Amino acid sequence: MRSLLWLLLLPVGAMAAGEGAWQASGRGVMLNHRGVAASSAPLSSAQPVNGLMTLVAWRYELNGPTPAGLNVRLCSQSRCVALDGQSGTTRGLTGVPAVEPLRFVWEVPGGGRLLPALNVSRNQVIVNYR
């Protein structure tokens, strides 16, 4: 129920402020080795959009424990921002064209096999733009 409210509240608030918003979600990835980056499939608007990103909300879900040292970034075609948790917001992509797809990138530093593997079950973004 909490995730449903999260999805509903941000776009409504954005529309009230005269901005547009789009939401996309997708399946995550499986990461088996340290020192290797894994990227999600691109997340983009289902409709054509025109404007620049202002605030981006993110959320991802893991099946299993969070590996020590996990680095997660949210990337457009031109810029990446580091994420500090499994959900939150960032203004680090402000000014990026809202039409650009976003990708999550996961990496655990070091080398060798990751036990247990990092299993990202789902990821989603809400992009507010003006």
Name the average pLDDT for the chain: 89
Evaluate whether 125 touches 56 at the Cβ level (below 8 Å): yes
Residue 78 scores a pLDDT above 80? yes
Using 50, 70 and 90 to split pLDDT, how confident is the model at 8? very low
User: Could you tell me the two tokens for 119?
Assistant: 């299993």
Nearest Cα to Cα of residue 103 among 11, 22, 24, 48 = 24
Write out pLDDT tens, residues 108-130.
999 999 999 999 999 999 999 99
User: Quick count: other Cβ atoms within 10 Å of Cβ 130?
Assistant: 14
Measured in degrees and rounded to the nearest 5, phi and psi for residue 76 equal -95, -170
Assigned token pair, 101: 């797809």
Q: Return the pLDDT at 7.
A: 44
Q: How confident is the model at residue 4 (pLDDT cuts 50, 70, 90)?
A: very low
d(CA 130, CA 119): 34
Q: Which CATH architecture has domain 2-129?
A: Sandwich (2.60)
Ordered alpha helix ranges (H), the chain: 2-16
Task: Decide if pLDDT at 2 tops 70.
Answer: no
